[in-house]
């Protein structure tokens, strides 16, 4: 049976093939032009969800970086202000020393009154510093000046609240210093200088590490010196021992996890160098303190200890090792001297009970993994070691407890200068030292925040690189593959054109010839 193929049908086939070849070539040209493997949802529906997720994570990461930049403006502005305050206090010390000496005269004291008044004005300007129109020392009342004059007095107009900034998926940090810290308190305070955080042990809950801020559940990537790579899923871990067991099991003992000798964090031991990285933009390794590399066969993680509280055993505190049992301290307060014997105490809570029972009008408090002595009046007090155990020094409370009165100090100094009272002028030096110490502590606190912001930015930059790399794997095209596919598509289209032209070479005019 003879089958006749009409010219119309043949034309439709040729046109369809030409369109298909042209479509493939155009698609490859789009890919080559954009260098994107996925240019529409139809290109790879499976990859679209991953691309969107990575884009969302990159957008969040970019917002965290913007938060870090804005926070750094406030923290840097605070640093400059504190430096200026320190300079002012240095000038106040010069005046007080000069006018309490034998060379002081009535005329020089009158001149010094004006100098101190000018220094008060300088302090007002410094403490009313603004960043982008926000008063950085007003607490959370950033729309109003922190300090204002009322007659001869200086009043604080802000509040005591801290401003916090989110600098990561699970990280927030305070970025300001409320100005009321300079106004003085109704009590004298002596803050401890020793970190009393307890050592980690296997039963420590992961939700309590990092001073109670917890951890980020997820997976980590671990590589040893033989280039063995292990992806370790820690989502089921609840305690520090769970993390150790998961790592040791996953590596088969090639890399051994344990708690550091000082109990402050984790340690990894094996064939070096040892590298620990995050998986898919997570922050699990960072929250465990091991998101770093080691050129040797031991990786010592950073401090991730829990916060100390009243229930903390003294024997679990690394900084008290070799100093137990504790001995006695001596407290001089309101004209009396009290001896506080901690010999029988085994917990921080027991220290609190012993001290509070021994010294009327004062209390011992556990704050931020250290202890503080707080009096019920603004009168200064002294704490010294009472025996050979040096217990006050060991606990970090040897020294003087004083209130902080920045503007009050200057007003008292002005009054003493106006009265020509050299004794009062000389006495102001003691309170001035307390104010200077407070400013130095604030400078160290603020400096720590600067370091934290630098660290956060570094982590966010690294996270951005990892996310961009992961997005590129889903999104970007391979240059060599695109070039080859485009060449094939062009060749196919040209071949289709050639075949079509030859099929239509036979026509009526040629037949009549």
Q: Give φ, ψ of 66 to 5 degrees.
A: -65, -40
* Cα dihedral: 299, 302, 306, 312 (round 10): 80
The helix (run of H) or strand (run of E) holding residue 449 is helix 422-475
Task: Please report the domains of the chain, with CATH numbers, ordered by start residue.
Answer: 53-184+404-467 (1.20.1330.10), 206-300 (3.30.70), 314-401 (no CATH)
pLDDT band for position 241 (cuts 50, 70, 90): very high
pLDDT over 70 for what percent of the chain? 79
User: In whole angstroms, what separates CA 323 from the centre of its chain?
Assistant: 33
How many residues are present in the chain?
513
pLDDT at 349 over 60: yes
Q: CA 258, CA 498: separation in Å to the nearest integer?
A: 72
pLDDT bin (cut points 50, 70, 90) of residue 506 is low
By the 8 A CB rule, do 250 and 219 touch? no
pLDDT score at 82: 94
- What is residue 267's predicted lDDT score, i.e. its pLDDT? 92
Sign of CA dihedral 41, 44, 49, 54: negative
- Which pLDDT belongs to residue 358? 94
What strands lie across the sheet with 229-233, from one edge to the other? 229-233, 219-223, 274-278, 293-294
Give residue-wise pLDDT tens across range 24-47.
665 655 555 555 666 555 555 666
In the predicted model, what is the mean pLDDT of residues 258-284? 89
Tell me if 87 sits within 8 A of 398, measured CB to CB.
Answer: no
Give the separation between CA 342 and CA 328, rounded to whole angstroms.
Answer: 6
- Return the pLDDT at 235: 92
pLDDT value at residue 339: 95
Beta strands in 206-315 (DSSP E): 219-223, 229-233, 255-259, 266-270, 274-278, 293-294, 298-300
* First-residue to last-residue Cα distance in the chain: 31
Residue 442's contacts (CB-CB under 8 Å, 6 or more residues apart) are 82, 177, 181
Q: Which of 125-134, 313-322, 336-345, 428-437 has the lowest mean pLDDT?
A: 428-437
Q: How far apart are CA 35 and CA 158, in angstroms?
A: 55
List b or e across 217-226, with b for residues whose CB sees 16 or more CB atoms inside 10 angstroms: bbbbbbbbbe
Q: Which of 51, 19, 22 is nearest to 490 (CA)?
A: 22
pLDDT score recorded for residue 204: 93
Mean pLDDT rounded to a whole number for the chain: 83
pLDDT at 242 over 60: yes
């Amino acid at each position: 049976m003879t089958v006749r193929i009409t010219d119309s049908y043949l034309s439709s086939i040729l046109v369809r093939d030409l369109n298909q070849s042209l479509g493939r070539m155009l698609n490859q040209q789009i890919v080559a032009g954009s260098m994107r493997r996925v240019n529409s949802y139809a290109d790879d529906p499976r990859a679209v969800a991953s691309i969107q997720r990575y884009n969302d994570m990159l957008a969040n990461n970019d917002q965290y970086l913007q938060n870090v930049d804005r926070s750094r403006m406030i923290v840097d502005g605070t640093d400059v202000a504190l430096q200026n305050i320190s300079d002012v206090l240095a000038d106040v010390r010069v005046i007080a020393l000069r006018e309490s000496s034998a060379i002081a005269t009535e005329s020089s004291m009158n001149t010094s009154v004006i100098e101190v008044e000018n220094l008060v004005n300088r302090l007002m300007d410094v403490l009313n510093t603004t960043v982008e129109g926000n008063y950085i020392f007003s607490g959370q009342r950033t729309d109003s000046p922190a300090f204002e004059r009322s007659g001869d007095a200086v009043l604080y107009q802000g509040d005591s609240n801290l401003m916090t900034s989110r600098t990561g998926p699970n990280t927030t940090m305070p970025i300001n210093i409320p100005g009321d810290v300079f106004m003085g308190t109704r009590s004298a305070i002596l803050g401890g200088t020793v970190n009393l955080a307890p050592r980690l042990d296997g039963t420590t809950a992961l939700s309590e590490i990092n001073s109670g801020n917890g951890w980020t559940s997820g997976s980590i990537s671990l590589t040893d010196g033989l280039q063995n790579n292990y992806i370790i899923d820690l989502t089921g871990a609840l305690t520090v021992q769970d993390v150790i067991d998961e790592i040791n099991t996953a590596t088969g003992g090639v890399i051994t996890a344990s708690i550091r000798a000082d109990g402050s964090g984790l340690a990894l031991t094996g064939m070096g160098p040892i590298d620990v990285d995050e998986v898919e933009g997570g922050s699990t390794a960072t929250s465990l303190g091991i998101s770093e590399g080691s050129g040797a066969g031991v990786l010592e993680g950073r401090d991730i200890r829990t916060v100390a509280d009243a229930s903390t055993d003294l024997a679990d505190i690394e900084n008290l090792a070799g100093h137990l049992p504790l001995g006695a301290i001596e407290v001089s307060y309101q004209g009396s001297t009290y001896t506080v014997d901690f010999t029988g105490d085994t917990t921080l809570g027991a220290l609190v009970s012993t001290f509070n029972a021994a010294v009327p009008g004062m209390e011992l408090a556990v704050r931020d993994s250290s202890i503080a002595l707080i009096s019920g009046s603004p009168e200064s007090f002294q704490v010294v070691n009472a025996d050979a155990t040096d217990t006050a020094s060991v606990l970090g409370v040897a020294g003087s407890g004083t209130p902080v009165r920045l503007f009050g100090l200057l007003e008292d100094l002005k009054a003493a200068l106006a009265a020509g009272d050299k004794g009062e002028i000389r006495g102001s030096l003691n309170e001035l030292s307390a104010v200077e110490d407070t400013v130095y502590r604030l400078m160290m606190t603020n400096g720590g925040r600067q370091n934290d912001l630098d660290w956060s930015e570094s982590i966010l930059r690294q996270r951005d690189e990892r996310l961009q790399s992961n997005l590129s794997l889903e999104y970007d095209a391979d240059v060599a593959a695109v070039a080859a596919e485009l060449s094939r598509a062009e060749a196919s289209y040209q071949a289709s054109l050639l075949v079509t032209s030859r099929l239509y070479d036979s026509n009526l005019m040629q037949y009549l010839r």
